[in-house]
Amino acid sequence: MTLRYPAGAGGTDADYIIFTPVKYKTNNESKEDAAAPPPEAGAEPVILYMPNSTPGMGNQNDWNKVDFNGPIGDMRRDVSSSVGKNFANFAESGSFGELGSGFAEDIKNEGIDGLKSRFKGVGAQFGMQALGGLLGTTPNQMLALGAGKVFNPNVELLYNAPQMRGFGMAFDMVPKDANEANIINQIIMNFKKWSAPKDLENGMFDIPYVWEIKYMTGQDVNKNMNRFKKAACINVQVQANNGTPMHVAHEGGIPIITSLQLSFTEVDIITRQDHEKVGGQGY
């Protein structure tokens, strides 16, 4: 049974959001077998109204600035580049011969004059570094003082990896009748229960469920808003009567307003293919 707040949510009139608990699988398992195992009895999908403020979704990619300062840095960069290129080729071909010949080719391309020139610069920079230790100045400071020059920092921005996304949503639930009040309790219980581990009473825990979250319009996924990957619910925060000057309640002690704040972290990174697969705005 799908739990809904408000009672009419999920119709064709208004947009809504649906949370479906699914059993956790590692990303590796998910790639091998797309179908999720059936949820346990009681793991109910939840339909809620669109939050008043939908979360801003960042799609962060980690790039790092790396300095390859002066002739030493320049050499370090080129050697690293050669190692990276040739080992990437080796990873594909598996041929040691190709690996060796790749390195030999790179050295050959540099030429005797090129290598000589490099070593002159590298030697000078080493010398300045050694003396800088004694004098308390850096090679760049020495160059700036003596020759009005500095080493080229040879800056590169290098890619590391996409970042995992975290986001939160807040809902205020104000029951219109006793039935809705009961459903609000069930919704909160559902989020708490399936986001918590199960004690297997053998010294181990069963991992909490993760959540499939979708913005919906009518019966379809809303392609005009971002999509979510399966997400772990890392916090379920509930507060009664947020904003009222004192405790106020319906008969039976049911709060007038129950605020639910959910925090999630997606379980996987997002690649270009993921965006293409879902279409619309992507993730």
Partner 1 sequence: MSYQAVKAILNKGISRPTLFQVIMPIGVQAQEQLTFLCQAATVPEVAVDTITVNGHEAMGVVREQPTIVTYAKPFTITVISDRDYTVYKAMREWFDTLAKNSNPFARTLGNTGSSQRINYYNSYTKTITLKKLEQNGEQAFDSPFEIDFNKAYPIRVGELALDTEARDSYMQFSVAFTYETYTMKTNTLEAIL
Instruction: Considering the complex, state which of residue 177 and residue 199 has its C-beta at the smaller distance from partner 1.
Output: 177
Rounded-to-integer distance, Cα 44 and Cα 212, Å: 12
Rounded-to-integer distance, Cα 98 and Cα 121, Å: 31
Residue 249 CB, shortest distance to partner 1, in Å, is: 6
For CA atoms 263, 268, 269, 271, the dihedral sign is negative
Instruction: Considering the complex, state which of residue 220 and residue 251 has its C-beta at the smaller distance from partner 1.
Output: 251
Residue 187 CB, shortest distance to partner 1, in Å, is: 17
**Strand pairing of 46-49 and 16-22?**
antiparallel
CB of 90 within 8 A of CB of 99? yes
Instruction: Considering the complex, state which of residue 16 and residue 19 has its C-beta at the smaller distance from partner 1.
Output: 16
Instruction: Considering the complex, state which of residue 6 and residue 71 has its C-beta at the smaller distance from partner 1.
Output: 6
Name which of 186, 151, 182 is nearest 76 in CA terms.
151
CA 38 to chain centre: 26
Q: 3-state DSSP call for residue 212?
A: strand
Residue 175 CB, shortest distance to partner 1, in Å, is: 7
Instruction: Considering the complex, state which of residue 154 and residue 239 has its C-beta at the smaller distance from partner 1.
Output: 239
Rounded-to-integer distance, Cα 180 and Cα 18, Å: 17
Name which of 41, 19, 62, 259 is nearest 158 in CA terms.
62
CB of 216 within 8 A of CB of 17? yes
Instruction: Considering the complex, state which of residue 9 and residue 75 has its C-beta at the smaller distance from partner 1.
Output: 9
Residue 238 CB, shortest distance to partner 1, in Å, is: 19
Paired tokens of 50? 């669109």
Rounded-to-integer distance, Cα 120 and Cα 69, Å: 15
Residue 241 CB, shortest distance to partner 1, in Å, is: 11
Rounded-to-integer distance, Cα 80 and Cα 88, Å: 12
Instruction: Considering the complex, state which of residue 50 and residue 262 has its C-beta at the smaller distance from partner 1.
Output: 50
Burial pattern 250-265, b for ≥16 Cβ within 10 A else e, equals eeeebbeebbbebbbe
Q: Which residues bind partner 1 (CB under 8 A)?
A: 174-178, 180-181, 248-251, 256
Residue 13 CB, shortest distance to partner 1, in Å, is: 13
Residue 256 CB, shortest distance to partner 1, in Å, is: 6
